[in-house]
Structure 1
Amino acid sequence: MNLFKSRVLLTVLICCAFNYSQSQKIINQNNHWIQGERLDLKTEGRDGEKAIGSPYLNANFQPARILVNGQPPSVIPNVRYNAHLDEIELKHTDGKVYFLNKNIDSIKVAFVNEKKTYMLFSPKNDGVKGFYVFLTTNDKVNLLKKESIRLDKGTAEGNGYSSPKPPSYKNNKDEYFIVSSDGLFKKLPRKKKEITNSLFPQYSKEITGFIKENKLKLSREADMIKLIGFFNTLQ
């Protein structure tokens, strides 16, 4: 083997080793993705596994592209969203389940098949840090959805009229928020008057006209997205 071929082979081996090491950022327990900086091992019973129902809107692990502080892993892991604990869970090939550490500043999880993107968001004013679904990607004002599932404790003992009830998961009604580039974070009202008076009172006339002209119903997500798009034309 001549010198040129040796150098080519050495370069290929180095690249392969580098790519392999990068892929382990999700799955190697000796790597910082799992040591607590980015991932924590999920322990049994953290979310009431004996309860009726599910803490997941979709319990299946699905491929997703993840950005943590702007850095992606070189593999596309299989993940799911725990709507009860507000956690993104990742399944390793060894069968163990990990969850992303929410102490990180920036996390973006884009599900490949569902076309759905969760982002870790920390409101500057009133609001709770957590994973929100970003329904729009505008420059000025965006619409976020908060999904959640509660765990009803049930009753350990019945009375003379009813039987004991086990704990059960119940879906909460989705909540919608707007976030603006200047830091505004506010729950989106579902009534027309509340939207015009509390969010953008200076555009009350324009917003009322747009809702009426387009026959928008603010109980429909698609119509809320249209309204947010119109907000951006007013800014």
Structure 2
Amino acid sequence: MKPIIISASLFFGVIFVQAQQISVGEMARTARFSKVIDEINNGEAVLKYSDIQGDPFYKSGFSKAKVGDAENILSVRYNMYKDAFEVLNDSDIYAIPRNNAFSKITFIPSNETFILLNDDAGVAGYFLLLAEGRNTLLKKMAVSYSPEMPAPNTMIAGSPARFDLQKPIYFIKTEDNFIKITKKAEDLINALPADKKDVAKDFIKTNKIKMNEEADLIKLVTFLNK
């Protein structure tokens, strides 16, 4: 769909005037927002999200959130299928541009923060921030789409179109590296800076850290940041 170019001053002004948290920097900037529709067009048919089993969103509905470094408050949602944040303006929905001005989004009710990464190593997209400091723990979530499969015959049932939540992937971002967490603790230890290898190994062993447990990973990264 062709992007709709609107003035950021008009867009943000309409949304934030009641909250009285209008950022002069945001209002002065002209941004490109693409209007989106809750549907999938696979070339053969157009399906509305409501006709597909499962949910492509991180949370149901829109939630209040801070976008960027300003104090502006928007109603947003995270589309895990598209890996995109979307903002509600009256009855219209727009995709928030992927640029540095909107690279940090914090949901107000839960205080959960997502950051946008795009580096030379091919790491890109939105990540949920779980622990931060010299070492940052990030969680990547995604949803896949499977089209409808008609029944091949009367003996075998078909399957409806559906969204499936994928298993999350965890990363530790150090000052010099971006480490994908695997089930093997040795993989992480070998990728850590030299001054962290032994202490990390001892901590993992002593505290029986499981590399596939989110709470354990938060505990480990919090320790590494001390």
Quick check: TM above 0.5? yes
- Check the 8 A contact 2:138/2:173 in 1, yes or no: yes
Partner of 2:5: none
Aligned with 1:176 (options 170, 175, 185) = 170
- Deviation string 1:58-108 (CA, Å, 9 cap, x unpaired) is 1221100111xx4453xx111111111111111112x11111012x23421
Q: Which is further off, 205-214 or 42-51?
A: 42-51
In structure 1, the partner of 2:152 is 158
1:118 is the counterpart of 2:114: yes
- The within-5 A match list for 1:4-153 is 23-24=13-14, 37-46=31-40, 48=47, 49=49, 50-67=51-68, 70-73=69-72, 76-93=73-90, 95-102=91-98, 104-106=99-101, 107-127=103-123, 129-138=124-133, 140-153=134-147
- Code of the residue aligned with 1:63 in structure 2: it is K
Counterparts of 1:196 and 1:136, CA distance in 2? 18
> Where in structure 1 are there 5+ consecutive unaligned residues?
1-18
Deviation at 1:208, TM superposition (A): 1.8
User: In structure 2, the residue corresponding to 1:197 is in which secondary structure?
Assistant: helix
CA offsets 1:6-39 (integer angstroms, 9 cap, x no match): xxxxxxxxxxxxx999623779xxxx98x98242
Supply the AA of the counterpart residue of 2:213. R
**Structure 2: distance between partners of 1:144 and 1:124:** 18
Aligned to 2:208: 215
Q: Which amino acid aligns with 1:84?
A: Y
1:39, 1:20 → 2: CA distance?
12
Contact 1:123 1:185 (8 Å CA) reproduced: no
- Does 2:206 match 1:206? no
Cα-Cα RMSD: 2.9
Cα pair distance change 1:23/1:130, threshold 3 Å: same
Q: Is the 8 A contact 1:177 1:187 kept in 2?
A: yes
| Secondary structure of residue in 1 paired with 2:204 | helix
1:187-206 per-position Cα deviation (integer Å, ceiling 9, x unaligned): 12222222223444664332
Percent identity, aligned pairs only, is: 24
The TM-score, its normalising length taken from structure 2, stands at 0.77
Q: How many residues align?
A: 201
1:59 maps to amino acid? S
SS at match of 1:65: strand
| Secondary structure class of the residue paired with 2:39 | coil
Deviation per CA, 1:120-157: give whole Å up to 9, x if none: 11133242x2111111220x211110011111123134
Q: Runs of 4 or more off by more than 6 Å in structure 1? A: none
Q: Tell me, which stretches of 5 or more residues in structure 2 are unaligned?
A: 1-8, 18-25, 42-46
Q: Distance in 2 between matches of 1:120 and 1:178?
A: 15
